[in-house]
Structure 1
Amino acid sequence: MSLQPLFRRFHETIQLKQYEENAELRQKRDIILERLRDKLRPRTFEPFNQGSYAMGTGIKPIDRDYDIDIGIVFDLDHLKNDPVTVKGWVYEAVVGHTTSVEWRRPCITVNYQQGREPKYHVDLAVMARDSRGTLRLALGKQHSQADQREWQVDDRQGFIEAVKNRFNGEDGFQFRRVIRYLKRWKDEHFSNEGRAAPSGLSLTVAAYRWFAPKKSSTYQGVEYDDLAATTALVGAMRQNFQTTWDLTLGRSIHRLSLQFTHAPHDDVLARMTNQQMEEFYGRIEKLSGWLEDARKRQSAEPLQRAFGSDFPVS
């Protein structure tokens, strides 16, 4: 029995369409942008879509709290403008739009609720673009000291384009499907509170580095194997964990470093503690075991344990 039709059905269930195809998400984005244009006059800015929507790797969240990412780009000299001051322009423009607007170090977050339950949150990344076109992200909280305020060189636009162009045609579709499978696995097996889970960005960076299409030629044409592609990527992630000694825990632990491929070229997993990283490694091992079990038994039952009840068993 081929499990590929079940993977295809699972993907149709969890896939979140991009802004242009999703009227409700597009409406939320446009309302925020119109408010910014109105409140920021005479200042002007250029928005761009970022995150999973822009890359075509979004999934429907289990908790229904949709995360929308928008870059807000001002053409200005970063040497003459304080990053927290510029973020303040955006904060003042959106505060009061909903009952909860948060000032976070990397962005301004506008939260939407339905009843008492979160429904959307819109992350506004405030950026400066210099005369050469270099983008810098405004980092800093509302009352940060001078040494905690920074314009960080940021090429997220370059990464978005790189992901979109990493593979062509059906290879690219499989690449994005596998990223979505890993994101749903993350949502099923990690808390969404704090930094205990690997971010969706980190899983995308891992796929960008280690994913390889898995397909075979048959008399009917090319047949893709999403189970093999997912298994290979998870195996590559597992093999790239390094062993290091943790003085606090008094034992060796496994840790994965994953450098962002574009500026600022930082480790996208750096903020996970050693304990959180060890739990990540343990869950990767479990996932690897479920995938291998599914292959050996040609059974969907281990896949439902890995990816949740949305994965069909027949």
Structure 2
Amino acid sequence: MSGVSNMANLHDTFIEFNDIIYLSPTKKAELRTSRNSIRDDITKYFNEKRDKHTVKYKGQGSFSTNTCILPISGEYDVDDGVYIFGKEEDRPTPQTAHNWIYEAVKDRTNQNTIDKNTCVRVQYARNYHVDLPIYYKTTDTENEFFYDSEDIPELAHKSKGWIQSDPYAFRKWFDGEASGKDQLKRIIRYLKAWTDNKSHLKLPSGMVFTILAVEHYVPMDRDDEALLKTLENIQGAIDDTRSWSASYSCYRPTIDTKENLMDKYASDTRKKNFLDALDSFIISGRQALELKSKKDACAKWQRHLGNRFPCSNIQEDDKDLAKTFVVPDVIRDNKSA
């Protein structure tokens, strides 16, 4: 499709959309300040009350991979891993570990601090929160991120107990795969914006789309084409209702590599919702790339990416459009998007 110069090119509109959904430097700085204050609270608590344990921290999640977006709700978050170091015989229960962290941060804000199954959440009035997953390790290292492939951290899960989990290993994997690929990171943000706009469908998580995007990314000169090609590749890989060779699966690239993240979205309803939404997105993308009017093409994308997709800013010359034929709003299989 590249090189068809008289067809609508919405690369600049996608770049503008990226700027709209991208977490601004000001908001990032605010999150870092809050995160660092929380770290100070926890360190102080351990210095004063936990003589058998030490504590360190590692950022994780989309904030650390620079793929986070500003949700439509306006509420954003940061995940900051709290790593407790101690001897095996001094390992607390997951609930006790949660109690320690809750006690350390409960007065950080005037909002309710929440003790969740997998983290302690510190809420801020300015429409964001900091999630604190808690890990235990029996060995420490001097390197910056105390990474040790032999001593896998264990997450304090209140209902499942201590379970192996290494989000930093995932971050290392992602950094290696996405190094120098700014377009790939934008594609991931577009996919997250799509799922946010279609939140009623309960589409897969940001982690799932991060993995799928990395595995099926197709670099192109234009973001609209790259997004469509990547979506088509994802569909070809996971939509087992269309191809016998497809597998409705997405496995973690790091521990636990045997965990199929798609199992959570495998009920008949959720699977159908996801695959139907994916197909509709692809149909609209194909139509958008076949249209000559940028405004018409933009409307195709906007249906899936939401009203924040900036169609109102598009300028085009009506005289040029008048010289071109009108492309029907259908594709060959007669489906309309």
- Under TM normalisation by the shorter chain, which class is it? 0.7 to 0.9
> Equivalent residue for 2:99?
88
Which of 251, 258, 263 in structure 2 is aligned with 1:270? Answer: 263
> Equivalent residue for 2:82?
72
> Equivalent residue for 2:19?
12
The one-letter code matched in structure 2 to 1:6 is T
The one-letter code matched in structure 2 to 1:237 is I
Mapping for residues 36-55 of structure 1, pairs under 5 Å: 36-42=42-48, 43=50, 44-55=54-65
Matched, 1:106 2:113: no
- Cα shift readout 1:257-299 (whole Å, capped 9, x = no counterpart): 2111101222223323512222111111111111111111152
Which of 15, 23, 34 in structure 1 is aligned with 2:29? Answer: 23
The one-letter code matched in structure 2 to 1:110 is V
Paired residues of 2:118 and 2:156 also in contact (CA < 8 A): yes
> Equivalent residue for 1:157?
168
TM-score (normalizing by structure 1)? 0.81
TM-score (normalizing by structure 2)? 0.76
TM-superposed deviation, 1:186: 0.7
* Alpha-carbon separation, structure 1, partners of 2:153 and 2:98: 12
Paired residues of 1:18 and 1:54 also in contact (CA < 8 A): no
**Runs of 5+ consecutive residues of structure 1 not aligned to the other structure:** 215-223, 244-253
Query: Who wins on radius of gyration, i.e. which is larger?
Result: 2
The one-letter code matched in structure 2 to 1:305 is R
Matched, 1:304 2:302: yes
SS of the residue aligned with 2:276? Answer: helix
TM-superposed deviation, 1:5: 1.2
Matched, 1:2 2:19: no
Paired residues of 1:17 and 1:53 also in contact (CA < 8 A): no
* Alpha-carbon separation, structure 2, partners of 1:91 and 1:64: 25
CA-based RMSD of the aligned residues comes to: 2.4
> Equivalent residue for 1:62?
72
> CA 1:290 to 1:102, structure 2 compared with 1: closer, same or farther past 3 Å?
same
- Cα shift readout 1:106-158 (whole Å, capped 9, x = no counterpart): 211222235xxxx11211010122327323232432xx4xxx31x22222112
* Alpha-carbon separation, structure 1, partners of 2:77 and 2:88: 28
Matched, 1:140 2:133: no
Matched, 1:128 2:136: yes
Paired residues of 1:108 and 1:125 also in contact (CA < 8 A): yes
Paired residues of 1:241 and 1:257 also in contact (CA < 8 A): no
**Runs of 5+ consecutive residues of structure 2 not aligned to the other structure:** 1-7, 141-147, 315-337
* Alpha-carbon separation, structure 2, partners of 1:96 and 1:237: 45
Relative to total residues, which structure has the larger strand share, 1 or 2? 1
* Alpha-carbon separation, structure 2, partners of 1:200 and 1:64: 17
TM-superposed deviation, 1:176: 0.2
> Equivalent residue for 1:257?
249
Paired residues of 1:112 and 1:121 also in contact (CA < 8 A): yes
